[in-house]
Chain A
Amino acid sequence: MIIANSPTILSVQGLRASINGTEILKGIDLTVRSGEIHAIMGLNGSGKSTFAKVLAGHSAYEVTGGSIQFEDKNLLELPPEERARAGLFLAFQYPIEIPGVANTQFLRLAYNTVQTQRGKEELDPLEFDDFVREKMKLLEMKPDFLDRSVNEGFSGGEKKRNEILQMALLEPRLSILDETDSGLDIDALKIVANGVNRITNKDNATILVTHYQRLLDYIVPDFVHVMQAGRIVMTGGKELALELETRGYDWITANKQPVAGVSA
């Protein structure tokens, strides 16, 4: 939702980043305010996922220019774990597997680390168990999820649900969902989208990185940005996603003017 005068959570200006000497992000500007949902769309290789990882602080990328302000913090000065503790959350496109580590153990460690940072009480294993089971209902997850090793042998859908479960537990100020819709069948997509919708509120913000309009049928964005060759080349409302769905991306190169409000 767009709220008048709501505080800015994220302000990105002229962001440039490269990996192994190749520049991927070539000057990104983006402002995200509390309560808003932004979708970033674009073809493979346009830099969407890189942008998500750079925001989270992945060490493989070198930031070569620009600034990222996250609430009152200069994000570029913080290592990834402090960005996370400050309330920035990234739902991974490919969540890693951790054999031998029970999901509940991992979730509790993450939860308690963030709680401590916020000056709140840690939960012991029993308290946490009650708490996490409640959250799991949001995502229609079975209880045996807790005892299985983190992401090991999970189906694509289960992995993505596990990501959103973490989002629900950690209550971030800003969530970045990197291709959360990829590899999901329509039922799983609805469950995940429904989970996200119940987590979003006026006090947090969400960035959805996606290829397809499909996800945006269920999580409705306030803004749609199109990325191309490391830049945001067009910004519009939710209608822009529909237009992309029917017209593809080609026409944008020819006409880089914002087309907010144009209906498909």
Chain B
Amino acid sequence: MSAVLQSLVNQPYKHGFVTDIESDIAPKGLNEEIIRLISAKKNEPEWLLSFRLKAYEKWLTMSEPEWQNVHYPKIDFQDISYYSAPKPKKKLASMDEVDPELLRTFEKLGVPMHERAALAGVAVDVIFDSVSVATTYKQKLAEVGIIFCSISEAVHTHPELIQKYLGSVVPVGDNYFAALNSAVFTDGSFCFIPKGVKCPMDLSTYFRINTEGSGQFERTLIIAEEGASVSYLEGCTAPRFDTNQLHAAVVELIALDNADIKYSTVQNWYAGDENGVGGIYNFVTKRGLAKGVNSRISWTQVETGSAITWKYPSCILRGDNSVGEFYSVAVTNNYQQADTGTKMIHIGKNTRSTIVSKGITAGHSNSSYRGLVRIAPTAEGARNYSQCDSMLIGDQCGAHTFPYIQVHNNSAKVEHEASTSKIGEDQLFYFSQRGIDAEEAVSMIINGFCKDVFQQLPMEFAVEATKLLSFKLEGSVG
């Protein structure tokens, strides 16, 4: 890899600051007592505590997955603090009551809150460490019957919905990290779109890990009733620490008849430094249940951060004619590792799914696409189209594709395409011969490569993602 290329990829992480806010931190370690403490801190009803304890019991019997194509030292789960909340922790009615230090943090992050939220027309729920600190636009959304609040609030205000749906898509014992999350999750976003309502604005959550040595375990639950639709955005950042931090979130989506949920993520957790020290372990379970007929669940993700990414936003297509989509860009650089992809489980008749995955690897990083397409015997006329493209920058990185295809119905149609390309000297020479410098060239090549995914993102996010990618790969090409 030439010098220009190298200097392009290696740009410092700009969200690596720590906000000086007093936090309420639980002692390190995981045991029943800690779980009871979290539950008590949050004043939770008995049923939720038993949900947690059941998950914890399950977790104790499970072992960390090892099949993924990533490598890291064993995590000491007793060396993590499972609860960290900014003080003061009283409920906030408006953004004005939020700690100004916190607001400055979000300003630095470029989070469109406050007046900017009004201009952008985005309702934001902000999760700082594991606690939701502010939700905007609640009032306006309530007028059309939409509930958008932190999940711990919803536990108290809408217990019947939480009890009905929490863990219904990702059961407590689904996998090691989902079980851990179910035991210790501290907050997250809750969103409920009632029958027939099209959400008038994009809903958005920003996640931020601030405290060193704390884990983040948030839980998101989104329900779209019959004929409802919503577009949901999620952004994440974290400060730079030399220790690795664990982020094990669970996201559950439920779409009833004719409902439509679009979930977009721009993930920029701290990725560790250029030698692979520090960074977030992003071990996340995301799953959507297209429960009703003609329902649709669409995942779009732009994964640029984290030392290790392990996530497979999936769709269970149970309703007849339901649709699942997965659009992904995963960028890895330096010593980052990513094993990401999706699962499309076709159960209903004439269900359709589309997978478009774009992996960009630079530096010494390693990236794998892992995807399962499964057509159940009941899925008459199901169709899937998958496309996995990898782009390599330099010659020290690796890209892998692991497609799993299981077809149990003869009428199904499954297509898989894959390609690998490389940004090479000749491509860059072509640009430079037209007067275009290497940085602009790389940015253009990458954005062209990711176009199919970026055009799925809401406008604002698409712009952010484009900038993030150029920034991320600055200095990597030559």
Asked if chains A and B come from one complex, the reply is: yes
Measured CB to CB, the residues of A under 8 A from B are 56-60, 79-81, 83-85, 89-90, 92, 95-96, 98-101, 105-106, 109-110, 113-114, 117, 149, 166, 170
Interface pair B434/A166, CB less than 8 Å apart: yes
Measured CB to CB, the residues of B under 8 A from A are 2, 425-427, 429-437, 440, 444-445, 447-452, 478
Interface pair B432/A81, CB less than 8 Å apart: yes
Give CA–CA (A101, B445) in the complex, Å: 7
What A residues does B444 contact at CB under 8 A? 98, 101, 105-106, 109
Interface pair B433/A100, CB less than 8 Å apart: no
Please tell me which one of the listed residues A59, A84, A95, A100 contacts residue B435 in the complex, with CB atoms under 8 A apart: A84
Give CA–CA (A79, B478) in the complex, Å: 12
Give CA–CA (A99, B431) in the complex, Å: 14
Among B426, B431, B447, B450, chain A packs the most CB atoms within 10 A around the CB of: B431
What A residues does B431 contact at CB under 8 A? 81
Please tell me which one of the listed residues B434, B448, B449 contacts residue A170 in the complex, with CB atoms under 8 A apart: B434
Interface pair B448/A117, CB less than 8 Å apart: no
Interface pair B435/A85, CB less than 8 Å apart: yes
What A residues does B2 contact at CB under 8 A? 59
Interface pair A95/B430, CB less than 8 Å apart: yes
Interface pair B433/A90, CB less than 8 Å apart: yes
Contact of A79 with B432 at beta-carbon distance under 8 Å, contacts A59-B2, A99-B449, A101-B447 already known:
yes
Nearest A-chain residue to B445, judged by Cβ: A98
Interface pair B429/A59, CB less than 8 Å apart: yes
Please tell me which one of the listed residues A81, A83, A98 contacts residue B437 in the complex, with CB atoms under 8 A apart: A81
Interface pair A80/B448, CB less than 8 Å apart: no
Nearest B-chain residue to A99, judged by Cβ: B448
Could you jot down 18 A-B contacts, CB within 8 Å? Answer: A57-B432, A58-B425, A59-B2, A81-B431, A81-B432, A81-B436, A92-B433, A95-B430, A96-B427, A100-B448, A100-B449, A100-B451, A105-B444, A110-B436, A113-B434, A113-B435, A114-B435, A170-B435
Count: A-B pairs, CB below 8 Å: 71
Nearest B-chain residue to A106, judged by Cβ: B444
Give CA–CA (A98, B437) in the complex, Å: 16
Interface pair A100/B447, CB less than 8 Å apart: yes
What A residues does B445 contact at CB under 8 A? 98, 101
| Minimum Cβ distance to chain A for residue B445 (Å) | 6
Please tell me which one of the listed residues A59, A89, A98, A106 contacts residue B425 in the complex, with CB atoms under 8 A apart: A59
Give CA–CA (A109, B426) in the complex, Å: 19
Nearest B-chain residue to A84, judged by Cβ: B435
Interface pair B448/A149, CB less than 8 Å apart: yes
Nearest A-chain residue to B448, judged by Cβ: A100
Given A101-B448, A110-B435, 11 more pairs with CB closer than 8 A? A56-B433, A59-B2, A79-B432, A80-B429, A98-B444, A100-B447, A100-B451, A101-B444, A109-B434, A113-B434, A149-B448
Interface pair A84/B434, CB less than 8 Å apart: yes
| Minimum Cβ distance to chain B for residue A186 (Å) | 27
Give the top 7 A-B pairs by smallest Cβ distance, nearest first.
A100-B448, A101-B448, A110-B434, A100-B451, A80-B432, A84-B435, A113-B435
| Minimum Cβ distance to chain B for residue A61 (Å) | 11
Give CA–CA (A56, B426) in the complex, Å: 12
Interface pair A109/B436, CB less than 8 Å apart: yes
Give CA–CA (A170, B445) in the complex, Å: 21
Nearest B-chain residue to A88, judged by Cβ: B433
What A residues does B447 contact at CB under 8 A? 100-101
What B residues does A85 contact at CB under 8 A? 435
Among A85, A100, A149, A170, chain B packs the most CB atoms within 10 A around the CB of: A100
Give CA–CA (A117, B437) in the complex, Å: 13
| Minimum Cβ distance to chain A for residue B254 (Å) | 34
Give CA–CA (A81, B440) in the complex, Å: 12
